[in-house]
Structure 1
């Protein structure tokens, strides 16, 4: 049993039998087919990651009841939800653009859910006030959405979703509408609120940092199916597709291992410290790559490939060089090093990587 399975099993055993999310979401739309199985125990935060068109938002909308299932099942705390209308499901949703009612104050936006669930106006507003206070927004209770900052609006939307005490909280790109500075602050606040949430939370995001910080488990979807799932640390250390490798910032290749040598399908070999046999992945970060204009004669690195620069991208004081040649790869170096090497598209370089900076694992 994996650490994740062990943790999940422990949480489930502590609660009601069948507590949490148990779903197989099958949705067919034209030539696209989504077929994703998801399970989560109360207290789990699961992030759905994947490229555009992979099916992440479709999965989220299917759980909310906004997209009908073609097949499969959706059970929450042991109760089947396939035939339950969206407004009757114990599900809270925070949409990407928040969808706050523009004519209502922050207080009445949050009170809307409890009112729909039968609370009196006074009860709903008291509940809403408590949630706004919890979110640090008590002084903005009377403000309408247009007078709120992006971070404040996000917290009002979260409070509105939580005020109904859902057993499943769905968040669709909850930080996408925020600028970089606000995103950093709100990400920390959201992490705290999710840590306190006692039911299941599922979030969709394109941002790997959001996923790594907020989620206990990552589920990566490509072409309508799950290609990898696990803890953030496991996904980052052992990516299994090019999309995931790019997401976590690694060069990734697939080949056949024979001892310390991995022969890639494209021809070149990579020397690793692991001793393996058979199909494997091998990965290393762009920061592990050292570039030279002339073939190094005294380099200690076991891996050496002749390449050509096809693109350069600057991020602060770092430059990402995209290389083609014997082994297509990405290399990170300082702007000073890039200038000293005279890097430009078309420049011929030698790339070296130490075996100790590679990581090989079974495919």
Structure 2
């Protein structure tokens, strides 16, 4: 709901401005009740600072923090209708799972009996009723995460904050716990904000992504939109795409920065590089294609259906099972994926020269603004 002045009265409406030395966080964040928003970004981007500001653990230097139309920025953390699941869960080691969940309820004024009864119901919903008497050291990582979530939800917060909630789990437990967490978040009726650097966690758990770099929002949208149309190199790497910015004229895009001959030194001349695309556009655009769309050749291919051919040099290689990721420099720097068999047949090795081709139909161009 809007208050008539452009601000949301239900859910979250915040502008978080925090100064820490030379670092400035300035992030606008909105979310409707029932929506899960993921703050995604590299280490040092400001994600945790934003979460701490929402929780009341770090004061704002400017901006506002409205939750359901109520300004929270002046309220101490303990008086905010906010639940937090920390990265290491911060369960009280001397308390059972039941009493950990009941703790926040006791702080809100419930009697011990009432708090423990509600805590038992929360643990049952998490499938943890058989572990109610266990202390944290007897719980698995996934069980501890669910106890921390139950504790955060028990007080019925209007804002749930999750700080890298799956980071401490091994791969198998992470998969199972992610699915369980998704189910619980789907049932949560208020706002949930997830902080993560893991793109899969963000894609699976969130309804909307807010990508933060260097204290600023650089992209926002649904997981599908962000994955299809990355707008920074960081996002492109996360979703596994080669990304370039340039100027389009019809079906050809002149890539910003030009190109350089494969193996040429720093003093070599720079020339224009173009990418042929299926879309017909004009003006500033992004062009993206996956590493799997790149085909490598020892000699310049003749008679190929690919409209894009570039001379490159292998800068490095990484093996991933039966696949090889080659990092290429030269006329158009890119990553290329190929099978180990293909890499062996090509005699692919760091320093080697190759020709890279990409069909126009495997590129994707879209406006930069």
Q: Please report the TM-score for the alignment, with normalisation by the length of structure 1.
A: 0.95
Compute the displacement of 1:347 (Å): 1.2
**Match of 1:260, SS?**
strand
2:346 pairs, out of 334, 337, 341, with 341
Q: What CA distance in whole angstroms lies between the structure 1 residues aligned with 2:345 and 2:89? A: 48
Encode CA deviations 1:195-254: one digit per residue, 9 max, x unaligned.
000000000111111101000000001111111100011101111100010011100001
Q: Does 1:38 align with 2:38?
A: no
Q: What CA distance in whole angstroms lies between the structure 2 residues aligned with 1:223 and 1:165? A: 33
Q: Does 1:198 align with 2:175?
A: no
2:304 aligns with 299
1:150 aligns with 141
Q: Does 1:256 align with 2:261?
A: no
Q: Does 1:275 align with 2:266?
A: no
1:356 aligns with 361
Compute the displacement of 1:315 (Å): 1.7
2:335 aligns with 330
Q: What CA distance in whole angstroms lies between the structure 2 residues aligned with 1:334 and 1:143? A: 49
1:246 pairs, out of 214, 237, 240, with 237
1:72 aligns with 63
Q: What CA distance in whole angstroms lies between the structure 1 residues aligned with 2:18 and 2:361? A: 45
Question: What 5-or-longer segments of structure 1 have no aligned partner?
Answer: 1-8
**Match of 2:275, SS?**
strand
Q: What CA distance in whole angstroms lies between the structure 2 residues aligned with 1:95 and 1:337? A: 45
Q: Note the 1:109-188 alignment, pairs <5 A.
A: 109-188=100-179
Q: RMSD of aligned C-alpha atoms?
A: 1.4
Compute the displacement of 1:294 (Å): 1.5
Compute the displacement of 1:317 (Å): 1.8
Bigger Cα displacement from structure 2, 343-352 vs 196-205: 343-352
Q: What CA distance in whole angstroms lies between the structure 2 residues aligned with 1:33 and 1:303? A: 42
Give the aligned length.
Answer: 351
**Match of 1:36, SS?**
strand
1:286 aligns with 291
1:53 aligns with 44
Encode CA deviations 1:9-57: one digit per residue, 9 max, x unaligned.
79x9xxxx71100100000111111111111110000000111111111
2:10 pairs, out of 2, 14, 19, with 19
**Match of 1:28, SS?**
strand
Question: What 5-or-longer segments of structure 2 have no aligned partner?
Answer: 259-271
Q: What CA distance in whole angstroms lies between the structure 1 residues aligned with 2:349 and 2:164? A: 36
Q: What CA distance in whole angstroms lies between the structure 2 residues aligned with 1:138 and 1:216? A: 30
2:325 aligns with 320
Q: What CA distance in whole angstroms lies between the structure 2 residues aligned with 1:48 and 1:90? A: 20
Q: What CA distance in whole angstroms lies between the structure 2 residues aligned with 1:349 and 1:174? A: 43
